[in-house]
Amino acid sequence: MNPSRKRIGITLVLSLGMLVCGIASATTVMSFDEMQHQPAELVDNYYNGGCSSSYSGSGITCGGPNYGVVWSSALAGGAPNGLWGNVANEPSGPNVMGFLDANSAIMNVAAGFDTGFSFYYAAPNTAGSITVYDGLNDSGNILATLFLPINGGNCDGFAQTYSCWSPIGVTFAGIAKSVNFGGVADFIVFDNVTIGSNTPGGGNGNNVSEPATLGMFGLGMLLIGLFAGVRRRVS
């Protein structure tokens, strides 16, 4: 083969490998566990590299991870001393997300996200719903909806009401920019909110690779390995 064609092929393989690896790291999980103010605090700009309500305007230097996500009417709190002291068995602790002053919380992602959306929820007494929009602040077209049925309480030997957690997710076509978490205020809580996947990920507020994306990451590394082998033969 012509050496120049070989170099073009090598470049394409390397580019594809890097692209696949990049896709594998696109899933982001928000567990709210880093937010420790008691009994609860508004999430606000915490996941946009900014402040939660506890420190906004206080003059204290603050800044959560910059995922480009802004929350409205969303409260982070947990057990045993937090706002939702009757929470247990959560996918990651100690905090969960809920809302008190309105019957919904809104998650805005200005840059948008695709592929899917997922989370865990506990709804012992009243059902909830999720609506995904392609515009900010519940605007534009509806890309997906989820009904969240009552899933009971006092699970797995825990006496706490909010201890039955159900994973749920949805895929959609298009680019989502906002999600409405609906339900009766103070009667439904969420954990490990995940953007970029229809399967909720692990906790601690970190980017994680889901099982499917781990496979894609492996494919990317294989392609890069092939590049290295071909390059040695060309040289």
Averaged pLDDT score across all residues of the chain:
80
Give the pLDDT mean for 214-219.
43
- Please, what sign has the CA dihedral across residues 201, 206, 209, 211? negative
The predicted pLDDT at position 40 comes to: 86
pLDDT tier at 35 (50, 70, 90 boundaries)? confident
What is the H or E stretch that residue 97 is in? Answer: strand 95-98
Pairing of strands 104-113, 176-182: antiparallel
The predicted pLDDT at position 30 comes to: 96
Please determine, for residue 219, whether its predicted confidence score (pLDDT) is greater than 50. no
Identify the weakest region by mean pLDDT among 4-8, 74-78, 155-159, 193-197: 4-8
Of the chain, the percentage scoring pLDDT greater than 90 comes to 56
The C-alpha atoms of residue 78 and residue 34 are separated, in whole angstroms, by 11
Spell out the residues 6+ positions from residue 23 whose beta carbon is closer than 8 angstroms to its own.
213, 216, 220
User: Of 102, 108, 166, 115, whose CA–CA distance to 144 is shortest?
Assistant: 115
Please determine, for residue 228, whether its predicted confidence score (pLDDT) is greater than 90. no
